Amino acid sequence: MKFGVVQFPGSNCDFDTLYALQNVMKSPTVLLWHKDHDLQGVDCVVLPGGFSYGDYLRSGAIARFSPLMQEVKAFARKGGHVLGICNGFQILLELGLLPGAMIRNKNLKFLCRHVHIRIENEKTAFTRAGRKGQVLRIPIAHFDGNYYAPARVLKDMERHGQIVFRYCDAAGNITEEANVNGSLGNIAGIRNRESNVLGLMPHPERAAEALLGSEDGRTIFASLILSLGRRKPARRPVRRERARHD
């Protein structure tokens, strides 16, 4: 299978994502320029983190008008898989491919740290390599990650298993302290109803190698490779020693 990583002016996790997919996961990956109109036959589009268009107006608000994003929208509507990471998640919300919106973190700080997230729904193309309730340790780096959706929408999402990741503590408990940015329901990642589009605030590409503190991010990429490719993903089952991390 082939991944495509979209580059906007201001994307800054594009090469990290390319590296994680191509070099770590050994999956063919191309970079896609936002001004182009061609998705180059990729099986999965990844919208990387960063500050597309300087976060002007609202995070992700301008990127959604890029020519390539119209292709991404059509691709998603036809069932193509799209993964949005951090700013990519914000773009998917602005684009209307995912429900809800992001507001500023509750403490008004840019948060850059490792957090724990719990897999709430393992029956998706993005999480099938994981287990329900599994705790992943993945870094976040964002200013606007405080997830909001109207109560009715939220209830609907809960009912359809659209909440895929929640912020939790190291033991997997969903607590107020673990809810770093103030998101409703500790939401860290969601999928659309059809389950082919997923957005999450944590950066799996920054947690793809033990040398960098965690390999947990591989679970998401490995899931996609399992779901969309025929080849076995390059993923070692690693048991981490929890005591080594904060």
Partner 1 sequence: MKVRILVSFKDSVLDPQGQTVKNALHTMGYGVVKDVRQGKVFELELEGATKKEAEALVPEIARRVLANPIIEKFDWQIIKGR
The set of catalytic residues is 86, 203, 205
**148 binding partner 1? (CB under 8 A):** yes
Tokens (6 digits) for 68: 């390539």
Q: Please identify, using beta-carbon distances, which residue of 10 and 229 lies nearer to partner 1.
A: 10
Q: Report d(CA 220, CA 137) in Å as an integer.
A: 12
**154 binding partner 1? (CB under 8 A):** no
| CB proximity list for 119: less than 8 A, separation 6 or greater | 127, 130, 131, 132, 133, 134, 135, 136, 164, 165, 219
List residues bridging with 191 in a β-sheet: 198
Q: Report d(CA 191, CA 99) in Å as an integer.
A: 9
- Is the distance from CB of 43 to CB of 21 less than 8 angstroms? no
Tokens (6 digits) for 166: 């929640």
Q: Report d(CA 146, CA 175) in Å as an integer.
A: 15
Residues in contact with partner 1, counted by CB under 8 A, come to a total of 17
Could you say which of 24, 30, 31, 101 contacts partner 1 (CB under 8 A)?
101
Residues in the chain: 246
Could you say which of 146, 192, 196, 214 contacts partner 1 (CB under 8 A)?
146
Contact region for partner 1 (CB under 8 A) — 11-19, 126-134, 147-155, 225-233? 147-155
Contact region for partner 1 (CB under 8 A) — 41-49, 123-131, 143-151, 188-196? 143-151
**30 binding partner 1? (CB under 8 A):** no
Could you say which of 35, 77, 106, 193 contacts partner 1 (CB under 8 A)?
106
Q: Which residues bind partner 1 (CB under 8 A)?
A: 57-58, 61, 94, 100-101, 103-108, 146, 148-150, 182
